Structure 1
Amino acid sequence: MRLQQVGPEPKTHPREFVGDPFIDTGILAIELLTEKPFNKCTKEDLRSAADTLVDIYMTPAWKKELQSIFPNSTYIQSSRGYDHRGRSKEFLYGLIEGINNTSGSTTFCCYCGSPAHEKMSFYKTHVPLVGSGSFTNFFPSFRDGLNICARCALAIQFTPLLCYKAGGKPCLVSSNNLAIVREFGKEALRTLRARLASGEYESATNSGLYDEKFRSPQNALFHLAYKFGKEYHALGICGPNESIVLYWIDNYNQNPSGVQIYTLPSNVFRFVAFMMNSPTYRSAWFNLLSRYYSKAKTKNEDAELPVWKTKQNTIHTYLLEGKSILWAFKDDSTRTPTIPWPVVEKYMRNVRGMNQQRIEQIRTMSDNVAQCIRETKKYSRVHDIAAARDLPSFRNQLQLLMRDWQKLGKDRPLTTFDDYTTILLPGDYRGWTEVRDLMVIRLYEQLHDVLAKEVEEEEVTE
């Protein structure tokens, strides 16, 4: 059984890839196996890769995984006496022969537009997430089978090699940056080679897919984002506008779940990469996450796994849903910020899209408010601002602070009319809660010495 060493990254013509995650992942797997661009592979190269693929798929660990990828395929056909190895090689060799043999084809591949392979019909046995022969409603124009070229059909057969297991099912890892997917593919293939050499695949109790024991695709997606943002950034692979997508697939014949798509947009990834590349901020971020993992009871089989692999995290959920997480950047019970102010600014710029001028004006206003509270010793104002649950209450607190500021006899105003109406609370009052939370976070930071004593005194009194 032979699996070639992953070599240096080959130069790949972008037209080799078609934009579909199944096809592109399979092409990448072939390129990593052969150490050649797909279009430079000879038939001998492809047959050698096919032989390696069959050797892998024939192991007990992989046969179990393929149930939810290629059900009833030649790799796992359940008929007694079935020649899995021979029939699988026959199928793959037939696709290899058909790559440049398209004479007489009258249909075109739905993935790349090339002439389709008409020597056979393709169903969910060969292409995940399409229909079977008796369910034509799963195919374009109710056709019997999918129009696909031999090249794309062959690529799909290699796709599972670079899949990532999460929530018990295979996930395709995709990105707008092919270099990220390629680097991840190298890692997956290195892991596969090591496990193949150690004999792990000879037991059906082991996972065939690249598996780091994540119980949900959401956890896996953020784990990959943290890995890419730190390790791949250090390699010079990640840029500022990357996005990551996980396609969680289930093609099993009995009540298949189909596909679920988990997307980490570029603005969130940019913020995550920023956090991962500072030891101080990275530590603060993981400490923050530790507060918000689900409290649901851990299953017995997951008892030895860390919480970040088994439990959903509210912050992750909010980030994926595009909701604000400013509330997590402050702890009202201890009146302290949970994350440094530069991180708050980065989050507001990258994720929430607030412009720098508005952030600076809110910070300046908050610093003036902190000075006012310190000089008047009206520390209850901080609690009153944090407790404002509607816009009128918040505006009332700002007006009280303006009055306090005037009584101090300050030469400059607490805030100007223009700043108040266009920066703090614009005419449509859009995002006033974010203004409140930003102000509270800054006040907790600026008045930390005083507020900490107050909290201690309250605890002693209790």
Structure 2
Amino acid sequence: MEKHNLFTGDPFVDNGFLAKSYLKDISNEPQTDLDLINRVCDIYVDRWGAKINALFLNSKVTQPAFKPPQKKEKTYEFYQNLDKPSSADTTGYCRTCGSQGALFKAGRDVFCLTGSGDYANFHHGHEPGVMVCKACLINLFFLPLSVLQMGGCLALLQLNSPEVRKYWREKTVAANFSAIGIGSSDAILRSKYANPKNALFNLAKEIINTTEADRGSQFLELYHFTNFGASPDCEIYRLPAPVFTFLDIVLRSCKKDWYDFVRAYYRISGASWQDEIESWQKNKHGNERLDESEYLNNPNLIYEKLLAGESIISFFAGYARRRYMKDLPGAHKFIVRFYLEEVMLMEKERINVIKRVADTILDMAREEDAVNKYLTKIQGPQNAYELRSVIVWMVKRHNKLHPEQTALITLDEYLDYLFPPGQFWSEIRDLMLIYLYQRLHEENIRIEEASDNADNA
């Protein structure tokens, strides 16, 4: 296989190659790279008004001093001259694909975020730019066709699997040429999302719905960047493989329950979430509901926690308690279990021990007609010492009520499953509460609201 037909791992070069390969696939007859460059340059200049400055700073296409015919002529001339031996800046190994041969310096006019040649020590070995081969330089020219305008920046996906490549090709390149075909394309394709974190979860949903991405190894990386002006910038948002696997499972088995839970944790000023109708309402407009499109780009606490690698167990607990008080179910029990197993990597034995202890505690509470008292004891602890004291109290109480039965929890279970090294104590409390509220709702056991200071979700 020729080197220019390989994906390199560089997100900009690979996305450019993705667009170029699509053009070759849809062409009725064989096309050279220069033929494709001419075709795409016509789109950039004539249809888009050369508005690709955020990708190619002061390039032949975006240079304001050039009129449209000059933009196209000078662009064609630049790429045509790459075949001349005298045009190469040096020889060596391409920085992006590793191939050996003639190399050309690539600055921000042709390669996003590569720095300025004005600073002699900016690049490795005092090179005048990132040194790349002809094939990679050509691939980069097609990049505008495989990015999305997302808010004030651009976005692209790292093409790290065949499924992601296939999806992104349809999402961007094919969509671009469809719009061009009907005359509705006048700039880089725009996403309905401006918030890259929310957008990444929507992309994950679409990939899950439309591909057979490998559960267990697939992860997503979204590059949110701009190459424009004096303030080039890039943020990389990574959706880890365990989170992708978790989403894959819940979107196939309990999709509605998951999104009902997620929607409750947007941050929206001047509105409040109504559990009964599972919708946001404006505080100053009676019963007027907010359409999801109105808060699509607001920060979402669940998405932010998942991307940051932080636990959302406390949110499951707060959600369960709040909805129980309104005689509504909490998050689907399978969602919580999938999260614990896939994202938190919690062993099934440990989950089962926590459930068994919670079951026994509820049985004791019902036996003494003191469900509210027991629930308050579990919700109350504000530190590990207080929670341990409550567990010990429960063990003693169980021994007193049922001396003939096996202990509520053994020493090994206490050390290995409830309070193992590195485990944050509040997660144990919250997991017990989630399961207790689930059982209370399922068995239609109603109590007054238990008092505590632990509901932080």
Answering whether residue 16 of structure 2 is matched by residue 26 of structure 1, we say yes
Kept in 2, the 8 Å contact 1:102–1:116? The answer is no
Paired letter, 2:245: R
Q: Residue 284 of structure 1 aligns with which residue? A: 257
Q: Residue 98 of structure 2 aligns with which residue? A: 113
Residues 13-92 of structure 1: pairs in structure 2 closer than 5 A? 16-35=6-25, 44-59=31-46, 61=48, 63-64=50-51, 66-81=52-67, 83-92=70-79
- CA drift of 1:452 comes to 5.8
Q: Residue 250 of structure 1 aligns with which residue? A: 226
Q: 1:104–1:455: structure 2 CA closer, same or farther, 3 Å change rule? A: closer
Q: Residue 141 of structure 2 aligns with which residue? A: 157
Structure 2 counterpart of 1:323, from 278, 294, 310: 310
Paired letter, 2:225: I
- CA drift of 1:285 comes to 1.1
Paired letter, 1:446: R
Kept in 2, the 8 Å contact 1:267–1:351? The answer is yes
Deviation readout 1:261-286 (Å, 9 max, x if unpaired): 111110111101111112xx211111
Answering whether residue 336 of structure 2 is matched by residue 352 of structure 1, we say no
How many Å separate the matches in 1 of 2:4 and 2:313?
40
Structure 2 counterpart of 1:214, from 187, 193, 196: 193
Paired letter, 1:424: L
Q: Residue 362 of structure 2 aligns with which residue? A: 370
Q: 1:429–1:117: structure 2 CA closer, same or farther, 3 Å change rule? A: closer
How many Å separate the matches in 2 of 1:296 and 1:56?
42
How many Å separate the matches in 2 of 1:373 and 1:115?
74
- 3-state SS in 1 of match to 2:229: coil
Q: Residue 406 of structure 1 aligns with which residue? A: 399
Deviation readout 1:312-342 (Å, 9 max, x if unpaired): 1011111111110011112333447631222
Structure 2 counterpart of 1:133, from 103, 106, 117: 117
Q: 1:418–1:304: structure 2 CA closer, same or farther, 3 Å change rule? A: closer
How many Å separate the matches in 2 of 1:431 and 1:27?
46
Paired letter, 1:383: T
Answering whether residue 322 of structure 2 is matched by residue 333 of structure 1, we say yes
How many Å separate the matches in 2 of 1:450 and 1:392?
32
**TM-score w.r.t. structure 1 length?**
0.83
Q: Residue 300 of structure 2 aligns with which residue? A: 313
Aligned residues: 424
**TM-score w.r.t. structure 2 length?**
0.84
Q: Residue 416 of structure 1 aligns with which residue? A: 410
Paired letter, 1:367: D
Q: 1:137–1:429: structure 2 CA closer, same or farther, 3 Å change rule? A: closer
Kept in 1, the 8 Å contact 2:16–2:140? The answer is yes
Structure 1 unaligned blocks of 5 or more:
1-10, 203-207
Kept in 2, the 8 Å contact 1:388–1:394? The answer is yes
How many Å separate the matches in 2 of 1:108 and 1:317?
40
Q: 1:121–1:424: structure 2 CA closer, same or farther, 3 Å change rule? A: closer
Structure 1 counterpart of 2:242, from 255, 267, 272: 267
- CA drift of 1:115 comes to 3.4
How many Å separate the matches in 2 of 1:177 and 1:12?
19
How many Å separate the matches in 2 of 1:400 and 1:163?
59
Name whichever of 132-141 and 312-321 sits farther off.
132-141
Q: Residue 176 of structure 1 aligns with which residue? A: 160
- CA drift of 1:76 comes to 1.5
Q: Residue 144 of structure 1 aligns with which residue? A: 128
Paired letter, 1:288: F
How many Å separate the matches in 1 of 2:237 and 2:418?
34
- CA drift of 1:117 comes to 3.8
- 3-state SS in 1 of match to 2:238: strand
Q: CA RMSD in A?
A: 3.0
- CA drift of 1:80 comes to 4.8
Kept in 2, the 8 Å contact 1:102–1:117? The answer is no
Paired letter, 1:250: T
